[in-house]
A and B are shown apart, each in its own frame.
Chain A
Amino acid sequence: MSVWAWIRLTACLWLLRKAIKVFTWLLVAVAVLAAWPLTLVTLGGYLAAWSRGWPPARLGRAAAWALSATGIWLLVSAVPLRSWHASALGPGREWEHGWPHLTALTAARTFVLFAPVTIPAGLALAALAWAWRNYSITTGLGGITASAPITFDSRQWRRQVRTAQGLTDAPGAVPLLARGGKMPVGGTIRAIGHRWHPVFTLPASACARHMVIVGSTGSGKTNLMIRLWAGWFTATSGRARAGRGNRPLLVVLDCKGGRDARRKADRTRRLLYGAGARRVAVWPDEARLSLWDLPAQDLAVLLYQMIDTGTGNAAYYADILQAVLILAVTAPGGPPANASAFLDRLDARWLQHAWSDGRHPAQLARAQAAAKHLPDIQLRFATLLDRLGPALDGPGQLTDADAWYFILEGTREPSVAQAQAMALTELAAHAATSTCGAPRDMLLAADDYSAVSGRVPLSNLYERGRSLGIGVQVSAQSWQGLGATEDERYRIAATADGGIFVLRTPYPEPLTQLAGTRRVLETAHKLIGNSWRNEGTTRQQRASTADPDLIRRLDVGQACYIHRGAATFVQVARPKASPLTLLPPPALTEPVPRIPDPRHEPAPEAWPTSRDLDDIFGSGATQ
């Protein structure tokens, strides 16, 4: 082959390739133009998804809903014609006849005639096109520059957040309870591995298991927790009303205390009232509990644990202390009714008298042996009970209220708060296992438990809750706040079968690792000179399902929910009870008393003149 022939062949091939390409594009353009109603809908759907950060699934659902119009159209047109075929061809004929006289009016008429078909089809096509766009950009196939995936992702994140915020602002979009007893949390920003829904919901059973919430101060943790409490309470009380479950009992331990805790308690109380709660007790400010209602053996163990006992030589005294407590609390006649009765029992004469009924010689001997230590033990417990205050001295039981909000001053008085936390968890355990009264479904929520976890580690509380069948929800400001050791923290997080909520926190890696990784395609573009060319390689990589960098950058009120190796980013909605729940003010039977006018004293009578006095006392008396 001559050079000239080779050049001609190459040119012809190039021209042929270009011609095929141009022809294909022309065909596409003709198809797009011919099916202009479909094109319009597809373009509209695509632009809506792009500008609002919708996932393709959202367009797919819209297309499915739009099929209802198609169904109506088929039904209405097929009934008179008695033929599906003829009814389906009707709009086609209209479209064919409309082309020669295309005006704005006929175009609108054609669009309306085709809408029952073009809207679902266009939305479905837009979903496919948007899915392809997402895929091509994230895998590096699309985009003009190599940084296109990064830019695309950050833009879409902003749009997704904006859409989720818009949803959470709507009054009816994120109620406390959704259909099927699910608890709405907020608008879904992005779902990775989970099925996407506009509103992210959790089943109430997630709270009945164990849940971990980690977020630094000001990240919106309180909002999220209160929403979950109210949602769980509403769902559980609704089930109880329908006769399908037990009444709820919410126990919240606010372990930091302070003024902020009071505000939080007040907010929780108002929300729970709106959710149908009748008695919401705030401890220790307004309500009391009786520690002495515990079974005698449990009470003895608890009292022993509440006192600091040393090791080594001090263990000897610890044993004596325990023996004395058992003698005092389990004495014939029942456990003490209050702190004063208990302190009275820590007396040698009382103990010996109580056990001297002739049937308990061993206990009597022990009481005699411990006699010389009793004043010290009494002094220690008098000090402890004095520091604990009267709020644990009764009267009152956990089951008296629908919800208890316990404020422990873990920041101001850690040792007292630790002892109180120990007593309260013991009371909660007793309420969960008590056979007296109707059984209750219990959720024990511990906010910043690390502030009081000195004596009872969180893992202990967790495992106890699991064994008693009560839901435990714990929150911490950081990964380190979950436990004292790495092993303990991991144990707590890994057993959170109700899921893990991670809000903005500087060190989310250990938690995001629990979500695992997912397979992604990574494309490398070849750099030639100072520009990227259409050459490169694509390889399969593993990326975190829950991106720790994204979590570090989360805004206030945004959370990442990790469960079963998947993650969903949520814009948490501020919890608000339905305004319809609160009772309207009844018509007053008597008018509201009017504020009285200022008091006007009557003017004093005029001083009698001398003539008047003469009338009384006789003439000359005033001289």
Chain B
Amino acid sequence: MRHSPFATLGLPERPDLDDETVRAAWLQIAAATHPDRPDGGDLTRYTQASAAYGELRTPWGRSEAYADLVEAARRQGRFDDHPGRDPGTEPSTEPLPTVPGAAPPPAPPSQPLLNLAWLPSRIARGRPGRLLIRAAIAAGLSLVVLALVPGQPAALADVGGLVVWFVLTGRKDLAPPPER
């Protein structure tokens, strides 16, 4: 199997890295493995890193290398994981981009469940502070309502209304779902 140039440079496998990040990663490895070092360095590793840097130096090169990895992953049937990662080591949370010319992947079995799985990440990447304030307001008012009219039908209705308000207004404080 062809080794990932991203992994060679110790970089995450994503096409949107910038030039500085890639260069910094290469310089770090080059400094540690250069054959001119007193300990002789590591020529193999240095050569691999230099080749990987040559491949990932430009944004176009990075997108090409990324595309190759995705295709390789797809060929091996690793649809549930992203390229370069050993399947089974860690559950996938990210969707795999499509491959040109390939048949579109089947739709996920249950979209609502998938959306629910994304919720913690969406909260964390959104505006959790505001969401917390909203939740506190809704919870506080609910407690007040339950204390004022315990056991009344209106209490349940008011709490239901507050939940609706929280859901409707809190949506915009969540980060958008992936690829949206």
Contact = CB atoms under 8 A, between A and B. Distances in A.
B16 A274 contact: yes
B150 to A, nearest CB: 11
B156 A73 contact: yes
B168 A65 contact: yes
Interface string A586-610: 1111101111100101000000000
Nearest to A601: B38
Nearest to B106: A243
A582 interface: yes
B39 to A, nearest CB: 8
Most interface-central of A114, A274, A286, A580 (chain B CB within 10 A): A580
A427 interface: no
Nearest to A61: B168
Interface string A249-290: 000000000000000001001100111111111100011000
A333 interface: no
Interface string B101-129: 10011010000000000100110011100
Interface string A559-599: 00000000000000000011111111111111011111001
Contacts of B107: 241-243
Contacts of A581: 94, 178-180
Contact of A234 (B11, B84, B180): B180
B139 interface: no
Given A76-B153, A281-B60, A579 B101 contact: no
A172 B122 contact: yes
A68 B161 contact: yes
B90 interface: yes
Contacts of B144: 108, 112
A244 B178 CA distance: 19
A206 interface: no
B176 interface: yes
Nearest to B60: A286
B37 interface: yes
Given A171-B175, A273-B15, A275-B179, A580 B154 contact: no
Given A171-B125, A240-B98, A240-B104, A578 B175 contact: yes
Nearest to A80: B153
B172 A286 contact: no
B161 A115 contact: yes
B7 A77 contact: no
B172 A167 contact: yes
Interface string B143-180: 01100110011111110110011001001111111111
A113 B152 CA distance: 8
Interface in B57-105: 58-60, 63-64, 66-67, 70, 82, 84-85, 89-90, 93-94, 97-101, 104-105
Contact of B156 (A76, A113, A119, A577): A76
B156 A108 contact: no
Contact of B98 (A65, A112, A247): A247
B14 A115 contact: no
Contacts of A399: 100
Nearest to A287: B60
A583 B82 CA distance: 8
A91 interface: yes
A73 B161 CA distance: 10
Given A276-B179, A287-B60, A87 B121 contact: no
A72 B125 contact: no
Interface in A58-75: 65-66, 68-70, 72-73
Contact of B97 (A70, A238, A278, A599): A278
Contacts of B126: 171-172
Contacts of B31: 595-596
A69 B156 CA distance: 8
A66 B168 CA distance: 11
B51 interface: no
A70 B157 contact: yes
B175 A68 contact: no
Most interface-central of A109, A112, A586 (chain B CB within 10 A): A586
B180 A578 contact: yes
A120 to B, nearest CB: 9
A70 B154 CA distance: 9
Nearest to A76: B153
Enumerate the 6 nearest inter-chain pairs by beta-carbon distance, A residue then B residue, closest first. A69-B161, A73-B157, A175-B176, A585-B12, A77-B153, A286-B60
14 contacts: A91-B154, A112-B155, A115-B154, A172-B126, A172-B173, A234-B180, A242-B107, A270-B16, A276-B97, A279-B64, A286-B59, A595-B28, A596-B31, A599-B37
Interface of A: 65-66, 68-70, 72-73, 76-77, 87, 90-91, 105, 108-109, 112-116, 119, 167, 170-173, 175-178, 234, 237-238, 240-243, 247, 266, 269-270, 273-282, 286-287, 399, 402, 437-438, 577-590, 592-596, 599, 601
Given A119-B161, A282-B60, A583-B13, 10 more contacts: A69-B158, A69-B161, A112-B154, A243-B107, A274-B179, A281-B60, A587-B90, A589-B7, A590-B10, A593-B28
